[in-house]
Structure formats: structure tokens, C-alpha cells
Structure 1
Amino acid sequence: MDAVKKNNAAAPDLPNPQCPSEPKTHRIHDQMLRTDGHAAACCNAGVPAAVLMIFLGCILVGTVRQVRDRPRDLAFLAFAYADLAALFLCLRRAERLPREPSPEEGADEQRRRLQLVVWTLSAALSCAFAYRVSLLIMPPVLVVAVWSMTSFVAVVGFFVLVL
């Protein structure tokens, strides 16, 4: 009997098998939490996206305060954040589509359209940043280099994502 008490004292986190006063509902609830990992993963999947959107929202508020007197900068900022938010939403929808080919052609068509929208949004965001950088601070030779690289990325992205 003393050996049982010593073992239970050494491991206080383990439930005492000799203790009938422990309610059974806790055990069942713990088993449900342990075995239903898929549901927990689905609930926690949106947490990183929500944290990222809150972080970007805080940065947006600070940046809007700085550029509120410059309408061109404010329009660029609004476009960039709206494009980025739409890109995240489309990527989230693309992740939720089934990965294996389905017998339904509607899912394949939806995946194809979503890929085209993701490419369009990413190309627009790349072009907006290239325009912004080349407009303000670059000499003409580097402007050509920036636009060449942006065009290359957009074309390669089209072939990879859409075709």
C-alpha cells in the first residue's frame, strides 16, 4: 500500500485508478479532445491569418496617419492592402478545395478560376510595387531593369499557376 502511495505522489498528473470519486465526464471529455484532433486543427487554422490581418491593420492605421495629406500615396496604400487581403482570401479558398481530382468538373473549373484570380492579384500587386519604386527613386536604367524583372515574374507565374 505504501508503494502505491509513493508512485501516486511521484506522478500527481496521472489519475488515481483506485479513486472512485473522480467523475467519468472528465475522462470522456478528455478522450473527445484527444481523439478529435481534426476538429481542433480546423478551428485553429484561421488563427494565424487573423493575427496577420490584425497586424497588417495596425500597420495600415499608422501608415494612413502619415500619408493622409497625400492622396496619391493614400490611393496606393488602399490598393495594396485591398489587393493583399483579396489575395489572402483567394489563397484560403484554394487551400480548402479538395486536392485529389474529383469526378465533378465544377471543382476543377473552380480551382482553375481561382488560380487565374490569384495570378491576376499577385501580378497586379507586383506591378503596383514596381510602379511605385520606379516612379520615385530609380534612374531610368534601373526602371527598365525593375520592369523587366516584374514582367518576367508575372509571365513565369502565369505559366506556373494557370497553365
Structure 2
Amino acid sequence: MHICMPTMELPLSENKTGVTMELPVSEKKTEREPEQQPASPPPQADANGFNFLTIIALLFLTVNSADVAYRSRHDPPTLAFVVFAYSDLMMLLFCLKKMEQLPLEGRERLKFPVWALSTALILAFSWRVAEIMPLVLAVVVWLLSGSVAVGGFYGLFIYRETEDGGVVDHAYSLAKTNELSPEEKV
């Protein structure tokens, strides 16, 4: 009975004692520096920095919002929601685009507008969804949207990391990392 096992072919060299196998120089185990992989290519943009996919998506959003606003022109709450959601989303996207263009130091001043606009959009969608839900599910929707708003605030304004990956101690932390002095241990 013959069992066929896959093998790796290596170049063979002969000497007086018989056949020996040698690895080519490129396959010998040596300490090499890790290869640098090229950075991922930027999104498809022309020389002016316009991304055509983004423009198509914004155009679709604008046409769709205009269509919904026209169809709901006799329903003021729905019309107000559509106009608010569209304008809030456009302002949020504008702030995010500006935030991308600024250096790291300049981004701090746009954190609050981004958080406020995203929180307003979350609360507006929660309001619309909670209207059609039973009471228990509406409470769940409001609790989830509130937790997202509070979590976003914590992540943007309170939570800080050190350069080595640890968390910076701040006034709002629940657990203090201060060590006790020998006198306090007694």
C-alpha cells in the first residue's frame, strides 16, 4: 500500500557521500526586517479632491429627501422631521469633513458640534420610532438612544488614553489608582 503525501520540492545538490538537500539563499532562516507594506490607496478622487461616489450618494440623499418632503407637505410633523434630519445630517457631514482636514490639535474645537449634531439626529430618529412602538419598546428605544448619547459624550470628552495605551486618570474616574503610603496602610 502506498500513501501519497504532498511534499515540498527543494533543489538537490550532489557530493561524494550522496545526495543532500540545501535550501536556496532566499529560503534560509535569517533575521530579516519586516517588509513595509504600501499604504492603502486613497479613495477615488480627482485633482480637486472630489469623490464622485460621495457626490452621487449626497445627490441621492437630496433627491430622496426632497421627494419625501414633497409627499409629506400636508403632514407638518413629518415634514419637520424630514427637513430637520436632512439639514442636521448635512451639517454633521460638513463638520466631519472639516475635522478630517484639520490637524490633530485643531480637531478639539469641532468635537462638541459633532457630538451635538449626532445626538440630535439620534434623538430625532428615536422620537419617530418610539411613536409607533408599544410603550415597553418605546422605553427601550429611549434608553438605548440615551446610552448612545452619554457614551458618545464620555468617549469624546472624558475618556483619555496615554501614549502607551493606558487610561489617564481624570476627575470622573470611579476607581483611583493612587497607591497608599505606608502610614495609610496601618
Length-normalised TM-score, structure 1: 0.65
Contact 1:119/1:158 (8 A) holds in 2? yes
Unpaired segments ≥5 residues, structure 1: 1-36, 100-107
Secondary structure of the residue that 1:142 maps to in structure 2? helix
Q: 2:119 aligns with which of 123, 126, 134?
A: 123
Higher relative contact order (CA 8 A, sep 6+): 1
The whole-number CA distance in structure 2 between the counterparts of 1:91 and 1:63 is 25
Q: 1:145 aligns with which of 140, 143, 161?
A: 140
Deviation per CA, 1:48-79: give whole Å up to 9, x if none.
Answer: 33222211111012112210111111011100
Q: 2:85 aligns with which of 63, 73, 80?
A: 80
- Give 1 or 2 for the bigger CA radius of gyration: 2
The alignment yields a C-alpha RMSD, in angstroms, of: 1.9
The whole-number CA distance in structure 2 between the counterparts of 1:97 and 1:157 is 21
Contact 2:92/2:114 (8 A) holds in 1? yes
* Fraction of identical pairs, as percent: 40
Map of 1:63 onto structure 2: 68
Contact 2:69/2:83 (8 A) holds in 1? no
Deviation per CA, 1:11-46: give whole Å up to 9, x if none.
Answer: xxxxxxxxxxxxxxxxxxxxxxxxxx9xx6652444
Structure that is richer in strand per residue:
2
- Single out whichever of 46-55 and 122-131 deviates more from structure 2: 46-55
